[in-house]
Structure 1
Amino acid sequence: MNSDYILQHADALVKRVSKLIVNEPAARAALRRGVGLAPEDPRMLAAHRVVAPYVPVPTDYDVDRRRAASLWDVHAVERAFYAVAAIMAAQPRSARDQEAEATEEQTGEPQDSEALTEPTPAEESSATKDGKPDRRPNLGVSLAQAVFDKGLNADSTEQRLHLIARQNLDGVHRHLPRLVLYLRSDQVHIDWGILIRDLARWGHTPRHVAREWVQDYHRTLETLTRQAEQKNKNNTTDEEAEAA
């Protein structure tokens, strides 16, 4: 298994769950009960119908290549899929509706595809002005946007990010839902597919993922701040020119 393979399955699950949590209350309730629980917990039984078909498993090729199989903690991969599906279902209704509306605007039709091979709306729309694909945002980027756009306290947000970055697999699943649901209550965008991929990586390279989140938090916040300062500077210059 590699990151692209994980992400392909993750995006497919996100499509499926995004539809279910809007249109099927029973499925939403079954998934929501799983917040903070491991897949083997008996309370997760009803969630398997939705999540299990999308969880990638090692192929015979992976198993034969013992080093490759060891690089991916199969339990961490499975847990990532169930955890994010549960968090998506636990979002406030306003956040769920906002995501559904955004998806319909991007695709021109309601979400109804479950195919693993079709690109997600995030993949389809992620292009810069020069036509090159944007890097999809991880949790660090989302936190920086929340600080800049929503007025979250920068110091406390950074502290919460550092706390999560120090966690082992059990710890990150214990602390993450509250933070993500807090962001979604403010309708801060979360790339669910990327979050699944990163949590899947937490089993074998947690410090790498944590570093990426913290670095991207600071990079994004610095970039947004500079852009705002430059915009204000340009506006001031234009106003002075008009006054003259």
Structure 2
Amino acid sequence: MTTESPRTAADVRREHLHKYVAWITDACRDPGTRSALRAGLRRDLDHVRPMHRIVAPWLPRQRHVPETEERAYYLIASMIADRPRYTFATEDDTDDTAEEGESLPGPETAIEQPQATDTPSGSAADDLGAAADGDTQSEPAERWGRSLGYCLAQAVVEGPGREREMRASAAEARLHLLTRQSAAGLHRHLPATARYLRQTGTDIDWVRLMEDLITWPALSGRISRRWLQDYYQQTDENRNKKSNQEDENDLLNDAL
């Protein structure tokens, strides 16, 4: 008989972030909400007044929230909103889409806030430190989602068509630029990278990116290492697949 392991503070926080990202994505079907969030791109927290009514209810309330963590909530929301309206459409939009100006439910009515956890914790960096590693035996890497490095690699190797393919040189340059940034620098540079990925049709793992932003001040070296490793592992795997396929084609051609 197997027993479920108790949820840690990181588990509860990750569940909250998943709900937050899903709610923001759904809320962006309202043009007014989307416009308010998109206006916060590359702005500091003192100059994003239209965003507070949307984002503030989701900020953790059980502890002091560092400004870096607050900025992660605002930046992710603004980058999610920085997309054309049609990308938020669903099959039943005619019935479910909120009208412009209609109030949208927050976490108080739609999603419960995370409560006290089974495992005591210190800071968000303590709770999410294992996620930055992504290689512990008890927590498989798949659990932590797709890093930004992995997403950039996917844009290179799976670009659907030449006009939407991200060149390896551009992706690599962007990745190295991002890994050298402070938290403030990431907030300046990430929106352009997110837009670039969107143009290639590559989905970003917003929850994974949000966790990385929250822990960046304490774990930037570890997170940067994982981004770079994920990028080069994925692009190298793709090169090997192409090489093997070319070898198979050569053998088939020789046999004809």
TM-score (norm 1): 0.72
Instruction: Map 1:1-244; keep pairs closer than 5 Å.
Output: 3-22=10-29, 24-41=30-47, 44-59=48-63, 74-93=66-85, 95-97=87-89, 114-115=110-111, 134-135=142-143, 136-150=145-159, 151-234=165-248, 239=252
Does the Cα contact within 8 Å between 1:7 and 1:193 map onto a contact in 2? yes
76-85 vs 2-11, which moves further: 2-11
Does the Cα contact within 8 Å between 1:3 and 1:197 map onto a contact in 2? no
Structure 1 residues 47, 212: closer, same or farther in 2, change over 3 A? same
Does the Cα contact within 8 Å between 1:32 and 1:90 map onto a contact in 2? yes
More helix by share: 1
Q: CA offset at residue 46 of structure 1?
A: 2.1
Query: Structure 2 CA distance, aligned partners of 1:214 and 1:39?
Result: 29
Letter aligned with residue 32 of structure 2: A
Structure 1 residues 196, 213: closer, same or farther in 2, change over 3 A? same
Q: CA offset at residue 79 of structure 1?
A: 0.6
Query: Structure 1 CA distance, aligned partners of 2:20 and 2:187?
Result: 19
Does the Cα contact within 8 Å between 1:144 and 1:220 map onto a contact in 2? yes
TM-score (norm 2): 0.69
Q: CA offset at residue 37 of structure 1?
A: 1.6
CA deviations 1:25-60 (Å, max 9, x no partner) are: 11111101011122232xx2221222122222454x
Structure 1 spans left out of the alignment, 5+ residues: 64-72, 119-131
CA deviations 1:186-239 (Å, max 9, x no partner) are: 2211011111111111122122211211111111111222233334545665x4
Query: Structure 2 CA distance, aligned partners of 1:77 and 1:33?
Result: 19
Structure 1 residues 229, 20: closer, same or farther in 2, change over 3 A? same
Letter aligned with residue 156 of structure 1: A
Structure 2 spans left out of the alignment, 5+ residues: 1-7, 98-104, 115-139, 160-164
222-231 vs 81-90, which moves further: 222-231
Query: Structure 1 CA distance, aligned partners of 2:112 and 2:148?
Result: 24
Counting matched residue pairs gives 205
Identity %: 31
Structure 1 residues 235, 2: closer, same or farther in 2, change over 3 A? farther
Match of 1:70 in 2: none
Structure 1 residues 50, 145: closer, same or farther in 2, change over 3 A? same
CA deviations 1:154-174 (Å, max 9, x no partner) are: 122211111111111111101
Structure 1 residues 77, 87: closer, same or farther in 2, change over 3 A? same
Q: Which of 1 and 2 has higher RCO (CA within 8 Å, sep 6+)?
A: 1
Letter aligned with residue 16 of structure 1: W
Does the Cα contact within 8 Å between 1:161 and 1:214 map onto a contact in 2? yes
Query: Structure 2 CA distance, aligned partners of 1:3 and 1:34?
Result: 27
192-201 vs 47-56, which moves further: 47-56
